[in-house]
Chain A
Amino acid sequence: RKEVEQDPGPFNVPEGATVAFNCTYSNSASQSFFWYRQDCRKEPKLLMSVYSSGNEDGRFTAQLNRASQYISLLIRDSKLSDSATYLCVVNMQSRGSTLGRLYFGRGTQLTVWP
């Protein structure tokens, strides 16, 4: 089992739609969580951190459920410019070590069409 698992996608939605991405992680002791966005042939960039109480940034809402080891990203009123790959990222202890490192999900591709 991979440390971070994401919805396989791809998601193809019309402009204005609401879309939700889910992600599960394996280590219950994980402390920090992020959503990244990666445009085609570009480097990943931070979209938002995910806080325990949930957080919102404009049309984007991130939620964390520690009991289920699950995080989510909700995008409301989708825009054409939201088309990208969304990566779930969790900072957890690496195998055989007490030190943490980042684990990336494989990403979920979103295409918003007019």
Chain B
Amino acid sequence: EADIYQTPRYLVIGTGKKITLECSQTMGHDKMYWYQQDPGMELHLIHYSYGVNSTEKGDLSSESTVSRIRTEHFPLTLESARPSHTSQYLCASNLGQNTEAFFGQGTRLTVV
């Protein structure tokens, strides 16, 4: 089993609230990723990081922000949640150039 954890697993929250989705890995991986995926649809990369203090925007524009202050931690924040943010958010990490990625179990976000 991969040592990458996401919390919460499920979140239902009202419009306008600020939320932070947590992602932590204990494998010492330098690269971390956030993906957004709607049911039955493809994965969309929204943020990634090559290491501490490195963050990049992904392929899909997102109103969320990320930070990477510690190697093991890559939280994603939405300052003001909207119903259009309803989706599954998946965090992943990998070690180096040619290694596979491990995924967390995901956070299912519903904004009402």
A46 vs B102: C-alpha distance in the bound complex, in angstroms? 8
Q: Tell me the interface secondary structure of chain A in the complex.
A: strand
- Tell me the residues in window 13-41 of chain B with beta carbons closer than 8 Å to chain A beta carbons: 31, 33, 35, 39
- Does residue A91 face the partner (Cβ distance < 8 Å to B)? yes
Number of interface residues of B (CB under 8 A): 24
The A-B contact count (CB < 8 A) is 46
Known A43-B104, A45-B103, A101-B31: A106·B42 in contact at CB below 8 Å: yes
User: By the criterion CB–CB under 8 Å, are B43 and A101 in contact?
Assistant: no
Q: Which residues of B line the A interface, CB within 8 A?
A: 31, 33, 35, 39, 42-43, 45, 48, 50, 56, 88, 90, 92, 94, 97-106
For this complex, 16 residue pairs linking A to B, each with C-beta atoms less than 8 Å apart, are: A41-B39, A41-B88, A43-B90, A46-B100, A46-B101, A49-B100, A87-B43, A91-B98, A94-B56, A99-B50, A101-B31, A102-B101, A104-B43, A105-B42, A106-B42, A107-B43
Q: Which residues of A line the B interface, CB within 8 A?
A: 31-32, 34, 41-46, 49, 87, 89, 91, 94, 99-102, 104-107
